[in-house]
Every structure is written in structure tokens, then in C-alpha cells.
Amino acid sequence: MRMGIRAEWRRAVGLVGVLLLLQLGGESVRGALRFERDAIAAGELWRLWTAHFVHLGWNHAWLNCAGVLLCCLLAPERFDRRLWLRLACLALGVGLCLWWLSPGVPDYVGLSGVLYGMFVLCLLPQGLQGDKSAWLALACVLAWMLWQWLVAPSVSEERMIGGTIVSIAHVYGFCLGLAGVGLGWLAARRQRPVAAQETGGRNQGGRPPG
């Protein structure tokens, strides 16, 4: 059964509230939670996950808050009770990818990598169901991600957020979103034969004709 839109938006606004509260903590909170390679190597493993919920400054935080609300607008059904699990998996996944695959990245903050994964989780299922506008939006997200990664990050955006854009984090988030959609599809496919067998068993156990 589809959840009420109010519950979905409460979760989205709750996430925005968390981001803004952490931003209120300033440099002390950011310093304690950000992805910092030397600190992680020293055992502060929580930074792999928490780095995604702190930001360089208010512009950076507001930009990602807008991304959260846009995701909820595009696919409110993804803001169900499993939202927090999705966010946790994406955040940890991007953090681990930065740690293992990008040794040249010394530090990182921001929700943008996670948001790219959320955009895939929101838009790709709709596209696979025949929504052309979802395909168009996903193509725009992909094009912008590839431009920032393969060509160069936007200078104006870097100036606005007050730091360097780590575009590889967006790639990791996007790929993890694809993996999440694929795993969901495989799980649904495995459940279909079980459901069919149960239906068949109930039919065989029904009242005989005549």
C-alpha cells in the first residue's frame, strides 16, 4: 500500500533538518566527521559514513538540501521507511570507494555522492516502467556527472560551495545506485517463482470440480 505523501515529505524534511543542524555545528563538527584519510587510517572509521552529512559551508549545505527535496518530488515512494537504510548503504559505499579506489583524495565532505545514487534509485525504476521524462532527467544527471568527471568541475559551482568538487564521488554514488536497482530487480525476479508456486499450490488444494 502506498504511504501518505505527508510521511514521505516528513522524512525528506527530517533529512534536511539533520544536514542543517550539523552545519550549525561549524568547523568543530565538520572536522570531527569529515572523510580524512589520515584519521581513518588511525582507526576513526566512522568518517567513512559521517563525511556525507557535513558540508563545506552554508551554500554547499543548501545545495544538497535542495537535491534531497528534488529527489522526494521526483519519487516520493523512495522516501519510505527504508530511506535511512538506502542512505546508510550509499554513504558507506561511497566512503569505502573513496578509501580503496581513490587514494589521491585526502579529505571529503558533502551529500552529493549519495545524492547521485539516490537520483538513480528514484529515476531508473520509473524509466524502466516507460516514463520518458524519467529517462530524460536521468540522462541529464549522467551527462553533468560525466562532464564534471572527464572534462572539469564547474568553476562557478566550486566558487559557490567554497571548495573543490570531488567528482569521482559522484561517479561512485551513481554506480552504487545502479547496483541497488539491479539487486532490487534480481530480488523481485527470485520472488516471482515462489509466489507462482504458492498460488499454484492453493489452486490444487481447492474444491474439485463437479
**Do residues 71 and 78 make contact, with C-beta atoms less than 8 angstroms apart?**
yes
- Predicted TM-score (pTM) of the model is 0.88
Q: Please give the pLDDT value at position 155.
A: 92
Q: Please give the pLDDT value at position 209.
A: 42
**Do residues 134 and 87 make contact, with C-beta atoms less than 8 angstroms apart?**
no
**Do residues 64 and 19 make contact, with C-beta atoms less than 8 angstroms apart?**
yes
pLDDT, tens digit (0-9, with 9 covering 90-100), for 21-61: 999 999 999 999 999 999 999 999 999 999 999 999 999 99
Q: Which residue carries 492453493 as its cell?
A: 202
- In this prediction, residue 195 has a pLDDT band, given cuts at 50, 70 and 90, of low
pLDDT, tens digit (0-9, with 9 covering 90-100), for 51-107: 999 999 999 999 999 999 999 999 999 999 999 999 999 999 999 999 999 999 999
Mean pLDDT of 147-155: 93
Domains observed in the chain: 7-191 (1.20.1540.10)
